[in-house]
Amino acid sequence: MRSEAILDVRDLKVSFGVRRAGRKHRVQAVDGASLSLAEGEVLGIVGESGCGKTTVGRSIVGLVRPDSGTVGFKGADVIGARGASLRKMRLNVRMVFQDPYASLNPRRAVGDAVAEAGDINGFFKSRAERRAAIEATLTAVGLDPSFAARYPYELSGGQRQRVGIARAILPTPSIVIADEPVSALDVSVQAQVLNLMMDLREQLSLSMLFISHDLGVIGRISSRVAVMYMGRIVEQAGTRTVLDHPLHPYTQALVAAIPKPDPSKRIQGAIETGEPPSLFRRPSGCAYAPRCPIASDRCVADVPELRSVGTDGRIVACHNL
Ligand SMILES: Nc1ncnc2c1ncn2[C@@H]1O[C@H](COP(=O)(O)OP(=O)(O)OP(=O)(O)O)[C@@H](O)[C@H]1O
Ligand SMILES: [Mg+2]
């Protein structure tokens, strides 16, 4: 655990009850994930679709109730928090959602959407203060204050996501959890929205969890990266370390899959093989073993724990390193 961590997630487990072919099953969406976010840093969480990234984010902000584990915010466990400590956490840890179309209530004017967290928590002392805060926040995300009276259907995807960001920064939080904030947007506006997020991070001294399935985007944004596979973090280190010298075989596969503009730099014969195994039939031992080029008997038998490797704070969960 990093002592200066503002957010510290330990052994988080989340399962969902689902019906499949008429029978009840439990899906282990998060299976013992641990990560820590240092004050002021951007930590990327990367991993393929369905590995549990969104569920980790939703658990941290209290939208999903984990089966077990702890979520420490400034040293206090916030799972099951009530009253004042729950309110403090709700205002300080906020989420920007992947889909700006689905995350805004179509019947609610933009200004009311932006003020929602403040309204629920009695943050505004007067209507004038509320209006001024909404206008200042809209301006901060690059929208004209007149947007306060508009409705989501009148906005473009990029404008909607700016509203989604505005919702997450009024009142100013300590941590923003950005869940694939640009992947639903046109390529032409993705860079603008990413730049906006980075500017706000700087201006508001935010710490950030930046969730993406795209290691290329994470590489531009985050100072450290946590790589997630089937509900667990398998490697966490500085972004350059991960991109230049990935250690875990799964991280190596992800790095090899980053599109390279120069064809001569493309890696031939990517390491990645096969589809991810089903969450309904988790492999015993290391969940990556069935796809791993260096798996041994031990990998099938024992789950590898995260351990420190090297000197730069890297942690990796692999028996063969
Ligand atoms: N409310 C839910 N009910 C049932 N299953 C769920 C629920 N939420 C998530 N899951 C399942 O949990 C697993 C992890 O989902 P999650 O959305 O956290 O993955 P993800 O890494 O964010 O994927 P993506 O990159 O596609 O957004 C998936 O198998 C998903 O189907
Ligand atoms: Mg997701």
What are the tens digits of pLDDT across the range 277-290? 677 777 889 999 99
Residue 79 near residue 61 (C-beta atoms within 8 A): no
d(CA 94, CA 204): 13
d(CA 117, CA 245): 42
How many whole angstroms from 58 Cα to the centroid of ligand 2? 10
Count CB atoms within 10 A of the CB of residue 13: 17
pLDDT of amino acid 1: 44
Residue stretches of the chain with pLDDT short of 70:
1-3, 261-277
Q: Choose one of 54, 59, 97, 279 to mutate for the ligand 1 pocket test, by most ligand atoms within 8 angstroms of C-beta.
A: 54
Q: Where are the beta strands (DSSP E) in the chain?
A: 5-20, 23-38, 42-46, 68-73, 76-77, 93-96, 175-179, 207-212, 224-229, 232-238, 307-308, 315-316
pLDDT of amino acid 271: 45
- What domains are defined for the chain? 5-316 (3.40.50.300)
CA angle, residues 8, 12, 13, in degrees to nearest 5: 170
pLDDT of amino acid 274: 61
pLDDT of amino acid 312: 77
pLDDT of amino acid 2: 45
How many whole angstroms from 290 Cα to the centroid of ligand 1? 21
Count CB atoms within 10 A of the CB of residue 163: 25
pLDDT of amino acid 273: 55
pLDDT tens digits along 258-280: 877 666 654 444 445 566 667 77
pLDDT of amino acid 304: 95
Question: Which residue has its alpha carbon closest to ligand 1 atom 4?
Answer: 16
pLDDT of amino acid 67: 95
Instruction: Give the amino acid at 84.
Output: A
d(CA 312, CA 64): 33
pLDDT of amino acid 102: 86
pLDDT of amino acid 276: 65
pLDDT of amino acid 167: 96
